[in-house]
Structures are given as C-alpha cells and as structure tokens.
Amino acid sequence: MTKNIKDSILVDGDVEATNFKGSGAQLTGIPQNAVLTNFNATAGGDITSTDTIQSGLQKVEYKIKNLTIPDSTFSNATPTPITIGGIPAGTTFSNDTMADMFNQLLYPYQYPSFSSFTISGQSTTLEVGATSNSNPSFSWSISNSSNVNTSSLSITDTTAGESLFTNISITSPASLTYTGVTKLSEGSEVYTISAVNTKNSVFTSTFTIHWKWALYYGESTTATPSEALVESLRIKSLTSSYASTYSFTSLVNGYKWFCYPSSFGTATTFKDTSTNLGVPFESPILVSVTNVYGRSTNYNCHRSTNALGGPISIMVS
C-alpha cells in the first residue's frame, strides 16, 4: 500500500542521481522551479519540465507532483511497558504498517457495555412474601453497539441457575412466559445479561430484586405496643437495618415509636440530631407482626420514655 502526496512538497537541496530514473552520479541541470511529475521514491520516475535544462546547477528548488511513498513497517517483539492511546501495555509488533500503528494509537477500540438493564415495571425492593412480576419484559441499552456480535445476547436467572434467553438479537426488549418469584424470607434474585463484543470478549450487567422486612416508626398516644399499633404507625419502610436517621412529626401528648424486625439486632442509642444529646427510649418489647403476604416475624418496639409533642429528628444506632 502506498500514499499519494500531491502539490504539497517544496525542497531546497542537492539532488542525487541515485534518486531518479537515469544515469550519472548527480543531476546538475535542473532549473529553478522545475516540476517533477509522477516521481516514485523507490523505483524512480520521469522528470519533466517545460524549462530548458541548464548545466552547472548544484542546488535547486523544485516541486514534486504525485509523489508515491511505500508504507514503512514496524516490528518489535518487546512488549510495550505502558498503555499509550489505543495501544495497550504488553503489545508487540510484527510488520505493522505505520498507518495501522497510527490508527491503533489515535482510534482505540471502543468497548461496548450495558448502560442499562431492567425488568419493565419491576420494583427492585419487595416486602418478604411478595411475588415479582410474571411474564417479565427485559429491556437494555448498549453503548458502542456496533462493536457487538448481533446475535450473542443471553439472559440468565443467576440465582436459580436458569437460562432464560440464549444467543438472541441484541435489539431490546425481550419477553417470555415466566412465573414470578416469591421469597418467604429476606433474600434476592439476580438476573444477568451478557453479550459478546467483536473481539470475542463477554461483557455483562445484572438486575437484582431484593426482598426485605418492613420497619415502622411514627407517633401515637398509645403507651403499650401491639401488632395493630405497629401496623398503624405513620411510616413503613422496607430495609435490612435499623441504623439510620428518622424524622418524627408533632403529636400532642404523643410518644415516638420505633419498631423493627428483631432479626436486625437491638438498637441501643437514640440521639437528637440537632443537639447530639441522647433521647430516652424504653427497652424493646417483642411484638409478633404478620404482614399483608401472611409472613410473620418478631419486632423490637421502642417507645420514647416521655411524650414528645414536637417534631424531632433522631439518629438510631
């Protein structure tokens, strides 16, 4: 492969006969501004000019038209020590053309990746006992998708070890007839999507659904805990830990109540975030709660020692 350079080179210097077609040790009769046409840097070529050849000139200015230069190649068996541009560390070279070298350096391979992967309409957090969507529709998007093998996409229910799709089109979405998943205790279900790029490397992403118990907190004038009290509290939050900060509102002569599954452990510290001072709470009382899905678990229920009518933000740990 050769490159063509046209109307772009001005040279001022000695002209050796070995560089041109013809005989003699040195060309000395090329006039100023002579035009060298279709000159080949390796094989030689015709030199043409409308000017009269004059003898005795040792240095000339001339213009080369349609110069063709054969590509140079580069070889080096020593791995590159660092990554430069699109040439990764550890690369070796064997008769690589300079054009290929510059393409690798300046235009590195754009690796594809999943920029999103979801199950349409599916929440990522469910209460223990709930069932995920049946007949799910999986949606995804891929960056640099032109660098993906077009029928290489697969989706797996990783938790169940079940293949849902194999080597399908990379065009989103994909739906199937599938029974939703139910968890009777805390847990998760992981779905993995994968595809193969044009370098035959696999890339993946995951979508995870978590099942969690509810935590309840709020205000009540009731001083004794019960299942009815727990489920009537103002806030219900699906979580895996009690440690956080909670905002309580005003209730005249109202206590602050804080109830969470006993499987989380036991909270020992309640602090007013505005003063960093402790807020007295009673030791937990155990209450069994059955949720809307028929799953039961024991709750630790703490009540503020005193009725706290005003709003307060409490950090629990």
Say which residues have a Cβ less than 8 Å from residue 226's Cβ, sequence separation at least 6: 287
Q: In sequence order, what are the beta bridge partners of 118?
A: 139
pLDDT at residue 47, as a whole number: 42
Q: In sequence order, what are the beta bridge partners of 212?
A: 127
Burial of 25 (0-12, 13-18, 19+ CB in 10 A): exposed
72 confidence band (pLDDT: 50, 70, 90)? confident
Query: Looking at the structure, do residues 63 and 36 belong to the same domain, yes or no?
Result: yes
Query: Looking at the structure, do residues 177 and 85 belong to the same domain, yes or no?
Result: no
Query: Looking at the structure, do residues 170 and 226 belong to the same domain, yes or no?
Result: no
Query: Looking at the structure, do residues 219 and 311 belong to the same domain, yes or no?
Result: yes
Query: Looking at the structure, do residues 206 and 234 belong to the same domain, yes or no?
Result: no
Contact between 185 and 263 (Cβ < 8 Å): no
Query: Looking at the structure, do residues 244 and 265 belong to the same domain, yes or no?
Result: yes
Hey, is 232 helix, strand or coil? helix
At position 91, the amino acid (one-letter code) is: T
Task: Name the pTM for this structure.
Answer: 0.73
Average pLDDT, the chain: 84
Segment 192-222, tens digit of pLDDT? 999 999 999 999 999 999 999 999 999 999 9
Closest by CA position to 221, among listed 232, 236, 207: 232
Say whether pLDDT at 28 is over 50: no
- Of 62, 85, 106, the one marking the end of a domain is 106
22 confidence band (pLDDT: 50, 70, 90)? very low
Query: Looking at the structure, do residues 227 and 189 belong to the same domain, yes or no?
Result: no
- Of 106, 130, 158, the one marking the end of a domain is 106
- Of 106, 130, 161, the one marking the end of a domain is 106
Query: Looking at the structure, do residues 183 and 266 belong to the same domain, yes or no?
Result: no
CA trace torsion 274, 275, 278, 282 (10° rounding) = -40
pLDDT at residue 114, as a whole number: 98
How many structural domains does the chain have?
4
Query: Looking at the structure, do residues 173 and 217 belong to the same domain, yes or no?
Result: no
Say whether pLDDT at 87 is over 50: yes
Six-digit token string for 296: 């039961």
pLDDT at residue 5, as a whole number: 37
Average pLDDT over residues 253-272: 98
**In this prediction, what percent of the chain has a pLDDT beyond 70?**
78
Query: Looking at the structure, do residues 217 and 247 belong to the same domain, yes or no?
Result: yes
Segment 96-124, tens digit of pLDDT? 888 888 888 898 999 999 999 999 999 99
Say which residues have a Cβ less than 8 Å from residue 75's Cβ, sequence separation at least 6: 93, 94, 95, 96
Say whether pLDDT at 36 is over 80: no
Query: Looking at the structure, do residues 195 and 245 belong to the same domain, yes or no?
Result: no
Average pLDDT over residues 62-89: 77
Domain range enclosing 60? 2-70
Closest by CA position to 22, among listed 44, 53, 48: 44
Distance (Å, whole) CA 74 – CA 161: 49
Closest by CA position to 172, among listed 192, 197, 144, 153: 153
pLDDT at residue 69, as a whole number: 56
Segment 276-304, tens digit of pLDDT? 999 999 999 999 999 999 999 999 999 99
Burial of 257 (0-12, 13-18, 19+ CB in 10 A): buried
Query: Looking at the structure, do residues 238 and 290 belong to the same domain, yes or no?
Result: yes
Average pLDDT over residues 16-29: 41
Q: What radius of gyration do the chain's Cα atoms show?
A: 39
pLDDT at residue 99, as a whole number: 86
Pick the residue with more confidence: 62 or 249? 249
Hey, is 98 helix, strand or coil? helix
